[in-house]
Structure 1
């Protein structure tokens, strides 16, 4: 008997392979197909079956070569359709379309070829043509689930979700255990705003395929539309877990968290998205905005690094799309919060150049310009914002801020009230209205307004701080100094204290540990609080006092001070720290806790003796009356406290009074005014170049100091020198209300304006008092 021919053996092997193939044994079928084709490469069906098998195994690229071997033996609809299917999977859409079209030229009624042509057309963006292809496939084969499914998906993409619903429901009926038809039915229903039905479709898709990331994401969208936000965020979280590299899902999850004001959770999700380096600017600026919202309720030094990260995110957004107005706006806000007002100005100006009619940009620009002292430009920007949007409360409030910065407190009030009429829940506007009222002398109204601000935002540092000033002015020291601690959480103060690493002292026993007491605010504040340093030492601490150099000689020998460190120099082995104006919070509970020992700052006897000799020459007889009329004009508290030198003329007319200038820096030019009309003795360059120890030595040899509200008045009180201070109608909190004395300094007498800005009557009264005044032998009364 003759042996079987190779062709016969080949067909036998291919037949065995087909049996294994039909049984689902792909790994067993493949070598049988290949062995048969090796014996006879002209068996077209063998190449066709091997090509189908390879596609089923996911070896799509390899299948293309195999199907082309089949077609080389004769072009036909089946192999061309199979080729189109493989090319579609490889995203070679134009070639797939050509192959499918050629298949239809052989067999126009071939459903698979119509389907494959539709898939290619859809990928090429020819969705109307694709829909026609899928309809043809479904018409030729009504039970063709993929045709109905693809038709529904394409119609949904074409914005025809109502037409998509029927083929998708048909696909669901044909594939009841498949998740994809349910998912796409959900998409159609979601587009029709039938949110409950969409939710149910997505839930069914997830039941069939629990790890279906896209279904979780779209279910989250359905829950969001149904206002079930807690469930929405749960499914966004699951979608992001299942698809950690899906930028759209990550973005939607982060946006949902931000909508729930869960910014601390949103930030790492955005960070996960931007780590994928997407070329999508909104993701970066959304990250920056989430950080800014997160730090809005935080008041610690850590916000500075976070704001820097926000700034970087906005800059990354702008590197992708320089014309993204939202990124420019958010960059400006982040720079403003970081204290970089000049840079913020440029960001807002760029935003305005890109989109001139956005009121918020003009309003924010106004705030920045006001912060850097460009008040006219700031007011113009705010008024432009109001012109663009009269209902923008922030613009009205910012215009008020601009006027407050110019000490136009009466003019500012109506603008805050306009803001609050539009947006009654705006805590910042309530706070600033309180500032306007307080500076008008309407302290009781201001307190009520601050309380309203805190009702809307219990953690608003400026509201707490200003409320503290109102309480302290009334002498409510216990609560007032507790509220005053909120100054440490104000944005500018956080930036100022960013270099400190030690924890704040809470008042407990120190048990020998070193504590850094550091000066803050002005020189006068340091002098005022220095009296409390011995009480810190009494808690068992080694006190390291840090202050500016002009205070060194005055304070380094203060009782309780173990070491004096000049600002900027390092302090080592420090366990904790306390800003000087936090000491009253620990030690001053009521007026009864003051004044304590006076004097509490020592005067250098050698310096005092030297100045005694000099003053004997400058003013050999009469009352030696030192005068100081101007404070630091750049100080935050410089609100009408400085005095024109000419206003002191009544003092010069008092018989026997000899006026001696102790003024330094600001205001010295007034001595050279040829129209001054009275004589003021000047000290020498030693005094001009000297520090506070030098000033104290001069004061020790005066009969009386007359001063505006500045550090000189504090110094005179601290060394027990009689001192009269002139304060404006709305004075600083420490001089309280309607008193001529102060518990801080028993040698001080206060002369108050009766009319805001009118110093004339103040110095007429002071001159009258000076005519009757005689220095006490003990120099202990004012």
Structure 2
């Protein structure tokens, strides 16, 4: 054997020994052996590559490119050399060159998952997300245990999320957090993906994981608070958002969410201040400005609220937020007695609520040939439907009516409306050849802007009037602002008296018992026809703002409405007479909270006034 051959073999042996030390983490010994190998053979590719990898690990990408580039030139088909050259180019910021090198590595050794994973990473940075997702999936297909290429599941999840492929994102990110439960970024991405799929509880669970991993990170705590708000867990949301606010500098998102939670809990003054702060921090965020206007409206600051809504309509015309502003301004107009303009703006609710457009042509309010049915479709809550049913007889003067109603109203509507009005359910097919109209659009279509009451327009089964007082103290807790309109049964203790007997007009709440001294009976209520029949036997109804108030009013039964401060447009002062009776339902007298504040405090005076009326 020649002396040159011996020297080359000795150099290779030293390089291999250096590689062994390198794998074991002994970089000092590895570097010494690599350099000894190069002293014997300046073109020893493994030694050049090893020194280049050491340079890359030490944050010297330019040196790494030079060394690994020489090694790769000596062995141009060596996939690992090409791959590490790509890593060095990427570290230097040469993204396209890095992509080309990593792509070459995948062709040189298609079975190596590391090359596909690296290619996926650089493609993600280049914004080529479809290709990044494909490369990540290829890498994962090449290994039995994806933890062998850490971060690839997370990368696949990020790419899928960016592409809006939410089921794929959930699948990849679920594996990523299973492999690395401390990966807060993947937990966050998984939360966002679950939220996009409407899996609110799963999103909350993932945001809780992020907050547990990053307990002092204001963004992590704020994200959890925002999700708790979305899930209507108001007390937890308030605590989380206050903590986020205390942990870091103010942000528009945290201030806005905090303001909304405070609004839902009845702390209107602080809610308005927080939403004003959010608007100052993000003056171009139309949604925040709409929310600020809503808080001003709830505080009865009508001029300020209208300016907010008008600004959004002007500056953000054509957007969904502009339609939200138009709709909210419409409720302000209706609540302040500007009905004609209010009904026109009220049509913005269709865009705000995301109603799917019907294939049926829309009715313009004019007379129809009797052979052309008019399909009138209910919308929003049961109370809204009851209120607007008064317009159906007038519509029947102009068209043959088919009325689509929620199931709880069917029996009551059939008993109350003229027999020529056909009532169908939400799942029933549309009548052939029909035109359509939304129930809440009838004031506009019929040209009847002012509130009116046609007399009792709903009919209950005849029953004997008793001395019972109908009582409804809470609505559905799913309603975002239910904490402001509903109250605990125990808080109605001042209404109790030895000679008074109450009957519950709401679904049974087994978790609540009547306060001491209150005689309260309960009845099984199948639908609103049953509720109407029970109301018809009562000498008086006392209720908060739920469908029961509308039902009692439509039956023309004496009613006291316990109303939150601000509250719904139809109960505001411009919708009442001088004695506080509703223009929509003259038998309903509205008792307002006198000021904003925590529900526990501001209901006291309202309940005392109601008790005094019962005594009188």
CA shift, 1:390, in A, is 3.3
Task: Give me the whole-angstrom Cα distance separating, in 2, the residues matched to 1:131 and 1:514.
Answer: 92
CA shift, 1:452, in A, is 6.4
CA shift, 1:524, in A, is 1.0
SS at match of 2:404: strand
1:525-674 equivalent positions in 2, closer than 5 A: 525-531=384-390, 543=402, 545-549=404-408, 551-556=409-414, 558=417, 561-565=421-425, 571=428, 582-585=438-441, 588=444, 592-593=448-449, 598=454, 601-603=457-459, 607-608=461-462, 611=463, 614-615=464-465, 618=466, 628=471, 630-632=473-475, 634=477, 635-638=479-482, 640-641=484-485, 645=492, 663-665=504-506, 673=515
The CA deviation string for residues 241-274 of structure 1, in whole angstroms up to 9 with x for no partner, is xx998333334333443xxxxxxx8367526633
Contact 1:254 1:266 in 2 (8 A): yes
Task: Give me the whole-angstrom Cα distance separating, in 2, the residues matched to 1:189 and 1:465.
Answer: 49
- Does 2:350 align with 1:485? yes
Residue among 734, 738, 743 paired with 2:574: 738
1:223-622 equivalent positions in 2, closer than 5 A: 246-257=116-127, 266=129, 269-270=132-133, 273-274=136-137, 276-277=139-140, 279=147, 280=149, 282-289=151-158, 307-336=166-195, 340-370=199-229, 375-420=234-279, 422-425=281-284, 429-449=288-308, 464-465=323-324, 468-475=327-334, 476-489=341-354, 504=358, 507-508=361-362, 521-531=380-390, 543=402, 545-549=404-408, 551-556=409-414, 558=417, 561-565=421-425, 571=428, 582-585=438-441, 588=444, 592-593=448-449, 598=454, 601-603=457-459, 607-608=461-462, 611=463, 614-615=464-465, 618=466
Task: Give me the whole-angstrom Cα distance separating, in 2, the residues matched to 1:321 and 1:535.
Answer: 65
Cα distance, 1:273–1:184 mapped onto 2, change above 3 Å: closer
Cα distance, 1:666–1:627 mapped onto 2, change above 3 Å: same
1:209-220 equivalent positions in 2, closer than 5 A: 213-214=100-101
Most deviating of 270-279 and 311-320: 270-279
Task: Give me the whole-angstrom Cα distance separating, in 1, the residues matched to 2:506 and 2:407.
Answer: 16
Cα distance, 1:449–1:128 mapped onto 2, change above 3 Å: farther
Cα distance, 1:283–1:148 mapped onto 2, change above 3 Å: closer
Cα distance, 1:270–1:318 mapped onto 2, change above 3 Å: same
The CA deviation string for residues 156-191 of structure 1, in whole angstroms up to 9 with x for no partner, is 64654555677899999999xxxxx99999987875
Task: Give me the whole-angstrom Cα distance separating, in 2, the residues matched to 1:314 and 1:574.
Answer: 47
SS at match of 1:588: helix
Task: Give me the whole-angstrom Cα distance separating, in 2, the residues matched to 1:309 and 1:417.
Answer: 39
Instruction: Pick the structure with greater CA Rg.
Output: 1
1:711-750 equivalent positions in 2, closer than 5 A: 711-719=547-555, 725=561, 727-736=563-572, 738-740=574-576, 745=584, 747=586
- The answer for the alignment partner of 1:63 in structure 2 is none
Contact 2:347 2:441 in 1 (8 A): yes
- The answer for the alignment partner of 1:753 in structure 2 is 592
CA shift, 1:755, in A, is 1.9
The CA deviation string for residues 628-683 of structure 1, in whole angstroms up to 9 with x for no partner, is 5534162434354458656779xx9xxxxx9985641379999965567xxx9x8x
SS at match of 2:459: coil
SS at match of 1:246: helix
The CA deviation string for residues 269-301 of structure 1, in whole angstroms up to 9 with x for no partner, is 526633642545644445545665666xxxxxx
CA shift, 1:420, in A, is 4.8
Task: Give me the whole-angstrom Cα distance separating, in 2, the residues matched to 1:134 and 1:367.
Answer: 60
Task: Give me the whole-angstrom Cα distance separating, in 2, the residues matched to 1:522 and 1:318.
Answer: 41
CA shift, 1:213, in A, is 3.3
Task: Give me the whole-angstrom Cα distance separating, in 1, the residues matched to 2:472 and 2:118.
Answer: 65
Task: Give me the whole-angstrom Cα distance separating, in 2, the residues matched to 1:273 and 1:541.
Answer: 61
Task: Give me the whole-angstrom Cα distance separating, in 2, the residues matched to 1:762 and 1:187.
Answer: 72
Cα distance, 1:750–1:291 mapped onto 2, change above 3 Å: farther
Task: Give me the whole-angstrom Cα distance separating, in 2, the residues matched to 1:743 and 1:355.
Answer: 52
- The answer for the alignment partner of 1:236 in structure 2 is none
Aligned residues: 564
CA shift, 1:350, in A, is 3.0
CA shift, 1:693, in A, is 2.7
The TM-score with structure 1 as length reference comes to 0.55
Unpaired stretches in structure 1, ≥5 consecutive residues: 1-75, 78-102, 176-180, 206-211, 219-242, 258-264, 296-305, 490-496, 620-624, 653-657, 772-782
The CA deviation string for residues 522-576 of structure 1, in whole angstroms up to 9 with x for no partner, is 3212212435667999998984634233x221123545653533x7xx5457899
Residue among 546, 565, 569 paired with 1:710: 546
Cα distance, 1:311–1:162 mapped onto 2, change above 3 Å: closer
Contact 1:473 1:736 in 2 (8 A): no
Cα distance, 1:447–1:597 mapped onto 2, change above 3 Å: closer
SS at match of 1:738: helix
Cα distance, 1:731–1:506 mapped onto 2, change above 3 Å: farther
CA shift, 1:417, in A, is 4.3
CA shift, 1:321, in A, is 1.9
Task: Give me the whole-angstrom Cα distance separating, in 1, the residues matched to 2:11 and 2:137.
Answer: 41
- The answer for the alignment partner of 2:78 in structure 1 is none
CA shift, 1:327, in A, is 1.6
Unpaired stretches in structure 2, ≥5 consecutive residues: 24-29, 76-80, 106-112, 141-145, 335-340, 596-601
Contact 1:348 1:361 in 2 (8 A): yes
Contact 1:505 1:576 in 2 (8 A): no
Task: Give me the whole-angstrom Cα distance separating, in 1, the residues matched to 2:114 and 2:318.
Answer: 36
RMSD between aligned residues: 5.9
Task: Give me the whole-angstrom Cα distance separating, in 2, the residues matched to 1:699 and 1:645.
Answer: 19
Cα distance, 1:743–1:504 mapped onto 2, change above 3 Å: farther
Contact 1:400 1:416 in 2 (8 A): yes
SS at match of 1:632: coil
